[in-house]
Amino acid sequence: MDCRALAFRQLPHQPKLFLAYLERFEKVTSFYAHPPTIQAVTQASRTLDYPGERRREVAAILGKQSAALGAGAETNANLQRFANGAVAVVSGQQVGLFGGPAYAIYKALTAIQIAEDLTREGIDAVAVFWMATEDHDLEEVRHTSWFDAGKLIRFELPDGNEAGKPVGRIPLGDEGERLAREAAELLQNQGGELLAGYVTESYKAEETYGSAFGKLFGRLFAQYGLILVDPLDAGLHRVAAPLYQHALAERDELNEKLLQREKDLDRAGFDAQVKVTSKSTLLFRFEGGARQVVTASNGQFLAGERTWAREELVHLTHVEPENFSPNALFRPAVQDYLLPTVAFIGGPAELSYIAQSEVVYRHLLGRMPVMLPRAGFTLVDAKASKLLRKYELDVEDVWAGSQDLRHKMEKQSVRGSLAKDFERDQQQIGEMLAKLGEKIEALDPTLKATVEKTKEGIEFHLNKLRRKAGMALDQKEGLLAAYVQHLESLLNPHKMLQERELCLLPFLARWGPSGLSELQKLCGAKQLGHHFIVEFP
């Protein structure tokens, strides 16, 4: 497996706060509890305070969830280690169709590898994946893009009448099962019979987005013992109820701190990722199956058409905690209240908004795990590798956009004797212009700028002519457009990083059984903070 590593700052569209966190921690130390290092994780493991009673309750709940998802022997063994005192390396993602974008799997692999690294160092650790089943953004999870035969294929489920409902409770229906059969056929055509079976076994009509995702990930990561968490579980809400009550009882002080954090971030030159207002709280409430924002105003709390005094709403979190859920800033703290987390594996946006969540961690939890960046990958198939070499391109050239990519490919398309003629003639013209320029400047030094401008213009038009000649050659052969489509569909789909847009399953089908383990090798502590360009069969 050939690969090369890029720093995250070499990727397009990376958040400034995320880059500062990785590269200049001293600039953001007031926004995070720990630097992003494995040494910090080791230290957090030694000082973790996680009550034994809570561990027993959560272990029992996770055991039931895992059984429902069909967990195997390795996961059951890790659940026993969890019950016996292992710390957790946690990641998570929305429950996207067929596993969602590739980086969801990269998050899981990073958590698995970091947990293995810690265990080898004498700190018993297990990998845990938090499925964002309480999220209500159906639009983000009901579709997925696949790369197949040089083109993009979109699988999409209807939105129905499910607005406001947690995605983890929305059934797939017959259309979901039909799409699963189509997806499985594509995987089989790529040689991925095992993966095809995983998809059809997981995505049945009676399953929900949450249960189907969990069963797919359970099968994908069976040999790794990944522990999956469904936060919609009423039992987990009961365990988390004291934290909900604390968040409501001290809402005013928390909100002041969050508003101040926005100002502090702005003063430091960073943008807050989550908007906080004077009416914000940290909770949602479920009413009639839909999630409603809880707001505060004039000493009262409101959600939908209902209003409560603070004491009344605090009481409701005690008697019906399953009807409440945390918002984006509160969710990390709830997650790490429920779990003995020493490291959280996140992406650029997540690790940016954690700078706001740090206020919540410090006030409500008194501890915060180390935030580590997930591994990132761009996979390059054999055809794309050949095209990149042929046209003397890098993946970064594809990221630069269609126009630049096409110009470079057109220029390189001028081959053989015509290419040699261009090189020879351009050199001769350059030498001639240089001599002529010297004579003109000697005659009148004020004409130097005019000479340089004329030289640049001639060189520009020669390069343009060379590109057009290349375009004419490739158009004659009818190949260039198809090459561009292949490279852009694979490496810059919809002008996005591959890992953010494409599902990983078709790549794994082509790669074979070793694909996941090959990627896992690049997910450890020594490779933190890198994105890998990986050539695969």
Transcribe 507-519 into DSSP letters.
Answer: HHHHH-TTHHHHH
Angle separating helix axes 103-120 and 38-47, nearest 10 degrees: 60
Residue 412 confidence (pLDDT): 79
Which 3 state secondary structure label does DSSP give 220?
helix
- Of 60-69, 212-221, 419-428, 473-482, the range with the lowest mean pLDDT is 419-428
- Model confidence, pTM: 0.89
Q: What would the two tokens of residue 237 be?
A: 């809400």
Question: Looking at the predicted structure, is the pLDDT value of residue 209 above 70?
Answer: yes
- Cα 295 to Cα 144, 250, 283, 292, 310: the distances in Å are 34, 14, 8, 9, 11
Residue 436 confidence (pLDDT): 74
Distance CA(473)–CA(455), nearest Å, equals 27
Residue 450 confidence (pLDDT): 77
Q: What is the pLDDT of residues 136-158, one digit of tens each?
A: 899 999 999 999 989 999 999 99
Residue 418 confidence (pLDDT): 59
Residue 468 confidence (pLDDT): 76
Distance CA(184)–CA(194), nearest Å, equals 9
- Of 20-24, 71-75, 403-407, 425-429, the range with the lowest mean pLDDT is 425-429
Q: What is the pLDDT of residues 267-321, one digit of tens each?
A: 999 999 999 999 999 999 998 888 899 999 998 999 999 999 999 999 999 999 9
Distance CA(371)–CA(32), nearest Å, equals 8
Q: What is the pLDDT of residues 475-504, one digit of tens each?
A: 655 678 889 999 999 999 999 999 999 999
Q: What is the pLDDT of residues 80-137, one digit of tens each?
A: 999 999 999 999 999 999 999 999 999 999 999 999 999 999 999 999 999 999 998 9
Q: What is the pLDDT of residues 63-81, one digit of tens each?
A: 999 999 999 999 999 999 9
Residue 461 confidence (pLDDT): 76
For the CA atoms of 248, 229, 92, 180, the dihedral, rounded to the nearest 10 degrees, stands at -130
Which 3 state secondary structure label does DSSP give 39?
helix
Q: What is the pLDDT of residues 339-362, one digit of tens each?
A: 999 999 999 999 999 999 999 999
Q: What is the mean pLDDT of residues 459-483?
A: 72
